[in-house]
């Protein structure tokens, strides 16, 4: 248990570092070293590859978590489970690659008018998706061996650092664009190989597939289980990557690059939610297992109250400062044109934060299949939305479709949990938080000019934080946060 706790703390630290590195890459390195159309190229190729790679394992990632414990036997090399898993993914890749190849010309034609560079480099998505698929399953296999820190470092940090080296080499004109795209893709191939070498160093799992353990009935059970999650995995990543994958069809690749850069900024609003979900998921699952619905209700309510309050402050910080922040980026590259995108996308992220841990609640309950169905349905609807709104409004249309899909999906989950489980997280404190956010939004009309955009951002952040906390105090949204005794309790629990 001590080792698991240690790795858990390491993973939290890695996730925090990865967030900083990721934002530095997207908001500093790429805007200054690449042209917007070059950003659009690599981000579109990555998003297309992610979509394909999510289909390649055909749900094997979920199956590894569920079934590997039944085969765990280091002396017998886990009865060839690693070989079975790898063979399954290779077959999945062949099927997915054939499917994409059949429609290759139509996909290339779709990008040829607005984003001819995508058409030129489209074939890179085949090896790219192969590498991403194996990075995913190798990481999950390592986690099943209770070795998750090093894979987390590779997948969370190295995947962001290696490309920076390639981008720098391209900026310095050491390589041309063909070599740049090739090396960018091979960065992920190298990470997959390092993960494979790491697995062999800690486990040495290569062995023939045991016919006595992999009986027909067991293989059928694995296939049915993994298959049921395959489309859900595709849908989940689809909701996150469809906008960037599709926008290059309807707008010039330079605009796609601007969108890909600015649309990630509102992700900071969701960071507290993602951190809490990792902790809450296990508690919610255990509560459902032992029929402690009251505990689930308490987690749902309290998490929504705190997350909405914190998310509201982050929402204000992003939107009140975005104008000055984008003007810090190279003006001649046009990133300032994405300001409205941030406003729209951040509304969807705020609603996601307000509905808090509805994901762990739904997917750890007996109704999880309804959640999978919602996910697939919303992905189809999202594709339709993007096809309608991007041609109409360009980048803003992509942002609107993204926010609409996010809000729709979270509303469906919220409504389903409310009706089926009689759980909902909102009360009078939620209304107070909403009113506080609206009131502080009027700071948008306050013009702070200290002669430096950086100083202006710092001053506005300090002003909105001060007024927001004062408002939260007098509205008594979370009075326990302002009680010194409570802070003492927190410090004791953290060992401080």
**pLDDT greater than 70 at residue 234:** no
Write out the two tokens for 94.
């062949």
Q: How many CB atoms lie within 10 A of CB 99?
A: 12
Reduce the DSSP state of residue 476 to 3 states and report it.
Answer: coil
pLDDT of residue 416: 94
For the chain, percent of residues with pLDDT exceeding 90: 48
pLDDT of 493 reads 42
Residue 492 pLDDT = 47
Residue 248 lies in a domain: no
The C-alpha atoms of residue 154 and residue 185 are separated, in whole angstroms, by: 15
Lowest mean pLDDT across 82-86, 228-232, 245-249, 483-487: 483-487
What mean pLDDT is predicted for residues 424-442?
A: 94
Identify whether the C-beta of residue 319 lies closer than 8 Å to the C-beta of residue 444. yes
The answer as to whether 251 is a domain residue is: no
Instruction: Give alpha helix (H) positions in 251-338.
Output: 253-262, 267-289, 293-327
Work out whether the CA dihedral 294, 295, 300, 304 comes out positive or negative.
Answer: positive
- Joined together, the tokens standing for residue 491 give 């410090």
Q: Residue 491, Cβ neighbours under 10 Å: how many?
A: 10
pLDDT band at 37 (very low <50, low <70, confident <90, very high): very high
Average per-residue pLDDT in the chain? 86
Question: Does residue 232 have a pLDDT over 70?
Answer: no
pLDDT at 495: 36
Nearest to 43 by CA among 319, 398, 296, 437: 398
Answer yes or no: is 442 within a domain. yes
Do 368 and 296 share a structural domain? Answer: yes
Query: For residue 483, what is the DSSP state?
Result: -
- Are 157 and 267 within one domain? no
The reply to whether 57 and 197 lie within a common domain is: yes
Residues 220 and 354 in one domain: no
Average pLDDT in the 429-455 region? 94
**Same domain? 424 vs 494:** yes
Residue 404: its pLDDT value, please? 94
In a domain, 270, yes or no: yes
Asked whether the CA dihedral 390, 233, 304, 481 is positive or negative, the reply is negative
For the stretch 155-195, pLDDT in tens is: 888 888 999 999 999 999 999 999 999 999 999 999 999 99
CA dihedral 467, 470, 476, 479 (to 10 degrees): 120
Do 38 and 91 share a structural domain?
yes
179 and 295 within one domain? no
Q: How many helices (DSSP H) and strands (DSSP E) are in the chain?
A: 22, 0
Place of tokens 């402050």: 313
Q: How far is CA 154 from CA 126, 138, 182, 230, in A?
A: 22, 11, 20, 24
Residues of the chain above pLDDT 70, percent: 90
Residue 494 in this model has a pLDDT that exceeds 50: no
Q: Are 365 and 419 in contact (CB under 8 A)?
A: no
CA-to-CA dists, residue 100 to 42, 105, 120, angstroms: 19, 9, 16
- What is the average per-residue pLDDT within 334-359? 93
What is the token pair recorded at 165? Answer: 């080296």
Q: Which domain holds residue 427?
A: 263-496
Residues 449 and 356 in one domain: yes
* Domain shared by 180 and 292, yes or no: no
State residue 372's pLDDT score.
Answer: 77
Assess whether pLDDT exceeds 50 at residue 491. Answer: no
Mean pLDDT for 242-263 is 92
Cβ contact 288:424 at 8 Å: no
Instruction: Report which of 5, 12, 7 is spatially closest to residue 274, judged by C-alpha positions.
Output: 12
Whole-number Cα distances in Å, 214 to 38, 140, 203, 209, 229: 47, 20, 20, 7, 20
Chosen domain end from 213, 230, 247: 230
Structure tokens at 72: 């765990």
- Grouping H, G, I as helix, E, B as strand and the rest as coil, residue 316 is helix
Number of domains the chain is built from: 2
Owner of token pair 């994901």? 359
Q: Pick from 187, 208, 230: which residue ends a domain?
A: 230
pLDDT average, residue stretch 248-256: 92
Residue 268, C-beta contacts closer than 8 angstroms, at least 6 positions apart: 23, 314, 318
pLDDT digits (tens, 9 = 90+) for 448-464: 999 899 999 999 999 99
Residue 244 lies in a domain: no
Q: Does 297 lie in the same domain as 170?
A: no
Note whether 14 and 65 are same-domain residues.
Answer: yes
| Cα distance between residue 310 and residue 331, in whole Å | 31
Residue 264 · residue 326 · CB < 8 Å: no
Asked if the structure places residue 413 within a domain, the reply is yes
Tokens for 376, please give them. Answer: 């697939």
If phi > 0 it is left, if psi is from -120 to 50 it is alpha, else beta; for residue 311 that is alpha
pLDDT at 64: 77
DSSP for 205-261, please give it: ---PPPTTTS-HHHHHHHHHHHHHHHHHHHHHHHHHHHHHHHHHHHS-HHHHHHHHH
How far apart (Å, rounded) are the C-alpha atoms in residues 58 and 89?
Answer: 8
Structural domain includes residue 257 = no
Higher pLDDT, 482 or 158: 158
- With tokens 């199956």, the residue in question is 63
- Of 230, 253, 280, the position where a domain reaches its end is 230
Same domain, 223 and 367: no
User: Helix, strand, or coil here: 451?
Assistant: coil
10-24 pLDDT, tens digit each: 666 776 787 788 888
pLDDT digits (tens, 9 = 90+) for 257-293: 999 999 999 988 988 887 777 667 767 877 887 788 8
Which is more confident, 53 or 463?
463
pTM for the predicted model, two decimal places: 0.85
**Residue 250 included in any domain:** no
Q: What is the reported pLDDT for 288? A: 82
Which phi-psi region, left, alpha or beta, contains residue 214 (left: φ > 0; alpha: ψ -120 to 50)? beta
Nearest residue to 307 via CA among 254, 359, 352: 352
Question: Residue 422 in 3-state DSSP?
Answer: coil
pLDDT above 50 (res 490): no
C-alpha span between 156 and 23 (Å, rounded)? 12
């Amino acid at each position: 248990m001590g080792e698991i706790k240690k790795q858990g703390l390491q993973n939290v630290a890695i996730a925090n570092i990865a967030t900083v590195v990721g934002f530095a890459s997207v908001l500093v390195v790429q805007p200054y070293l690449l042209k917007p159309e070059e950003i659009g190229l690599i981000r579109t190729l990555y998003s297309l590859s992610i979509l394909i790679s999510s289909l390649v394992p055909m749900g094997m990632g979920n199956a590894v978590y569920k079934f590997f414990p039944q085969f765990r036997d280091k002396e017998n090399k886990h009865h060839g489970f690693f070989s079975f898993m790898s063979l399954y993914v290779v077959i999945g890749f062949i099927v997915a690659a054939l499917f994409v190849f059949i429609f290759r010309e139509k996909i290339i034609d779709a990008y040829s008018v607005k984003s001819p560079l995508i058409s030129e480099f489209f074939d890179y998505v085949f090896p790219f998706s192969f590498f991403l698929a194996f990075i995913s399953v190798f990481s999950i296999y390592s986690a099943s061996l209770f070795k998750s820190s090093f894979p987390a470092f590779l997948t969370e940090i190295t995947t962001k650092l290696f490309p920076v080296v390639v981008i720098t080499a391209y900026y310095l004109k050491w390589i041309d664009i063909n070599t740049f795209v090739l090396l960018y893709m091979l960065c992920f191939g190298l990470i997959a190989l390092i993960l494979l070498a790491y697995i062999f160093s800690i486990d040495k799992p290569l062995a023939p597939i045991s016919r006595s353990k992999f009986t027909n009935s067991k293989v059928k059970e694995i296939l049915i289980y993994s298959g049921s999650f395959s489309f859900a995995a595709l849908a989940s990543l689809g909701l996150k990557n469809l906008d960037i994958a599709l926008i290059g069809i309807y707008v010039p690749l330079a605009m796609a690059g601007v969108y890909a850069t600015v649309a990630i900024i509102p992700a900071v609003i969701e960071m507290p939610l993602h951190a809490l979900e990792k902790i809450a998921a296990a508690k919610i699952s255990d509560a459902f297992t032992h029929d402690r619905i009251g505990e689930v209700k308490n987690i749902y309510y309290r998490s929504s109250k705190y997350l909405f309050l914190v998310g509201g402050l982050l929402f204000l910080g992003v939107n009140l400062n975005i104008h000055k922040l984008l003007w810090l980026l190279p003006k001649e590259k046009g990133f300032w044109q994405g300001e409205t995108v941030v406003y729209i996308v951040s509304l969807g992220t705020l609603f996601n934060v307000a509905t808090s841990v509805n994901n762990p609640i739904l997917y750890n309950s007996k109704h999880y299949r309804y959640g999978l169905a919602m996910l697939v349905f919303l992905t189809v609807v999202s594709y339709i939305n993007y096809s309608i709104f991007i041609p109409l409004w360009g980048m803003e249309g992509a942002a609107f479709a993204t926010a609409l899909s996010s809000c729709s999906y979270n509303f469906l989950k919220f409504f389903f949990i409310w009706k089926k489980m009689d759980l909902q997280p909102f009360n009078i404190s939620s209304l107070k938080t909403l009113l506080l956010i609206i009131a502080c939004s009027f700071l948008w009309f306050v013009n702070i000019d200290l002669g430096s955009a950086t100083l202006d951002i710092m001053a506005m952040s300090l002003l909105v934080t001060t007024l927001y906390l004062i408002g939260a105090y007098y509205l008594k949204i979370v009075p326990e946060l302002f009680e010194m005794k409570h802070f003492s309790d927190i410090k004791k629990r953290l060992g401080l």
